[in-house]
Structures are given as C-alpha cells and as structure tokens.
C-alpha cells in the first residue's frame, strides 16, 4: 500500500511539453505509484495521453481530462468531473504556469494579463472550487508550484512571471492560515533551474539562440550543486507536502533549487 492509497489527487498541468518528464508528468506518475487515483488535467491532449500511457504501463490509476484551467467554465467542469468519478478530492496540485520575457515598458498589456491568469489567477479559482470540497470531507492538501524567480532576479526579465509567482507564495500562506482550522493544508514548492523538456521546447529559443547544449551547460554552472534538478526532484517535494508525513506543515515553502537562491549570482541563463 502506498502513501496515497485510496486518495484522489487532482493534478492540474499533468502533461509535458516534450519528451521526458516535466514537473506535472513526474508528479502524476509518482502519485500513481503511491496508490493515488490520479485525475490529470492538461490543455494538450497529446501530452496528457503520454502521461496516461506511462502510468498505464505501471498499472497505475489515471484519468485524463482536457481543459484550459485559466477558463472558469473549464475549471467548473473538471472539478465536477473529478467529483462525479471519485466522490472526493484529497489532493490538489496547481502546476500550470509559464514565463514570458519582458519588463514593464516592453511587455504588452495582454501578455501581462495572460501571465497573471496562467500563474496566479487560476490558482485562486481552483482553490475557490476545491477548498469547500475538502472542508466538507474533513480536510485535504493543496500544493502550489511557484519559482525562484519569485525570490531572486536571475535574468532575463520576466517581470509578470516573477510578480505572479511571488504573489502566489503569499496567496498560499494567507489561504493556508485561513483554512488551517478546517484541516486543509496549503504549501508551495519553489523549483529552481530544472532540466525538464521545457528547456529544449521553449527556453532555448527565448534565451539560448537555438543552442540547447550551450544553454543547458550554462544553467548547470549556475547551480551550487553543479547541476540542474529534474521533474522528479520537484515531484518528490510535492508528494512530501501532500502526504501525512507533512501533516503538521502548512503555510510554508519548500525550495528545490540545489542551493541557487541562497547565492548571489550574476544574471545569466536563468
């Protein structure tokens, strides 16, 4: 029996942008390995199908739901679908997010708004829908994914992403304190530079002039441990905070960055 046997884990952002394991795909797989009934959500049907295939190969429990979580109607439907299928939600993982380059002068208004929707507002709306369910069933655990961009400037400018992730951390703290008496725990995982499919799928074109290996090597050098982490490093932190091993932990953050945010480094390939 795993740590999450008979529990239902709703994972938003359960796909991956390319071959390999991003944070969401790794998280969904580890929950399934630990006995959870995973209800995985992503807007990319192919990415979600790949996650489902990997979990099915290990005989895990996974149900796919295609949705854009930044749309409130889509959130309503996916929460109801999870309840209709399983009758409860024990864990909510808010893993959707992404950065767009720009500072307050160069960034278009619509990009700013989309960044807030993608990295902050949808978490407000998912919590608004799921917390009452958890309260009604006697408790639950929510884990939100932020970024060290909320803590330090590592470059290049990602002003909306950094602001949204910083706000997400405080949103998580305040909401956690509000619902602690109801046995709903809310914590945040803060990843650093991670070697996930996102690097080659998008960041290399934004920050590495198309040279993936050069960008990856530069990111490795920035980290005190000498290497980036991966999706499973983040997933293990998520599982810990959602598990009974963390039953007395709420309103806090777990930084997964190889020591990077504790250093003073020159802006570079972050």
Residue with tokens 């490795």: 220
Residue with tokens 């590495």: 208
Residue 249: predicted pLDDT? 98
Short-list 164, 197, 176, CA closest to 20: 197
- In whole angstroms, give the CA distance from residue 259 to residue 257: 5
Residue 252: predicted pLDDT? 98
Residue 151: predicted pLDDT? 94
Would you state the structure tokens that stand for residue 137, as one six-digit string? 């069933």
Taking only the tens place, the pLDDT of each residue in 200-247 is: 656 655 655 667 788 788 888 889 999 999 999 999 999 999 999 999
Residue 199: predicted pLDDT? 66
Taking only the tens place, the pLDDT of each residue in 191-210 is: 999 998 876 656 655 655 66
Active site residues: 161
Domain boundaries, the chain: 8-194+230-257
Residue 192: predicted pLDDT? 94
Find how far residue 121's CA is from the centre of its chain. Answer: 14
- In whole angstroms, give the CA distance from residue 146 to residue 37: 24
Residue 204: predicted pLDDT? 57
Residue 122: predicted pLDDT? 98
Taking only the tens place, the pLDDT of each residue in 5-14 is: 999 999 999 9
CATH superfamily of 8-194+230-257: NAD(P)-binding Rossmann-like Domain (3.40.50.720)
Residues in the chain with pLDDT < 50? 266-270
Q: In terms of DSSP bridges, do strands 37-42 and 8-12 run parallel, antiparallel, or are they unpaired? A: parallel
- In whole angstroms, give the CA distance from residue 201 to residue 231: 15
Q: What is the pTM of this model?
A: 0.94
């Amino acid at each position: 029996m795993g740590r999450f046997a008979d529990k239902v884990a709703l994972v938003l952002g359960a796909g991956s942008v390319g071959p390999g394991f991003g944070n969401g795909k790794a998280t969904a797989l580890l929950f399934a390995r630990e006995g959870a009934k995973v209800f995985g959500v992503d807007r990319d049907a192919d990415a979600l199908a790949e996650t489902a295939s990997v979990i099915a190969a290990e005989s895990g429990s996974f149900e796919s739901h295609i949705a854009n979580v930044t749309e409130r109607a889509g959130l309503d439907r996916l929460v109801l679908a999870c309840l209709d299928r399983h009758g409860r939600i024990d864990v909510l993982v808010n893993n959707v997010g992404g950065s767009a380059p720009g500072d307050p002068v160069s960034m278009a208004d619509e990009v700013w708004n989309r960044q807030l929707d993608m990295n902050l507002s949808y978490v407000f709306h998912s919590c608004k829908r799921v917390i009452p369910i958890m309260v009604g069933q006697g408790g639950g655990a929510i884990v939100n994914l932020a970024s060290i961009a909320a803590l330090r400037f590592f470059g290049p400018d990602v002003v909306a992403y950094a602001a949204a992730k910083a706000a997400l951390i405080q949103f998580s703290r305040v909401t956690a304190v509000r619902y602690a008496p109801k046995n709903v725990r809310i914590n945040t995982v803060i990843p650093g530079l991670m070697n996930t499919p996102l690097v080659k799928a998008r960041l290399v074109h934004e920050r590495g002039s198309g040279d993936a290996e050069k960008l990856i090597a530069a990111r490795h050098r920035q980290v005190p441990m000498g290497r980036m982490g991966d999706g499973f490093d983040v997933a293990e932190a998520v599982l810990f905070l959602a598990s009974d091993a963390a039953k007395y932990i709420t309103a806090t953050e777990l930084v997964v960055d190889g020591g990077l945010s504790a250093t003073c480094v020159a802006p570079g390939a972050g």
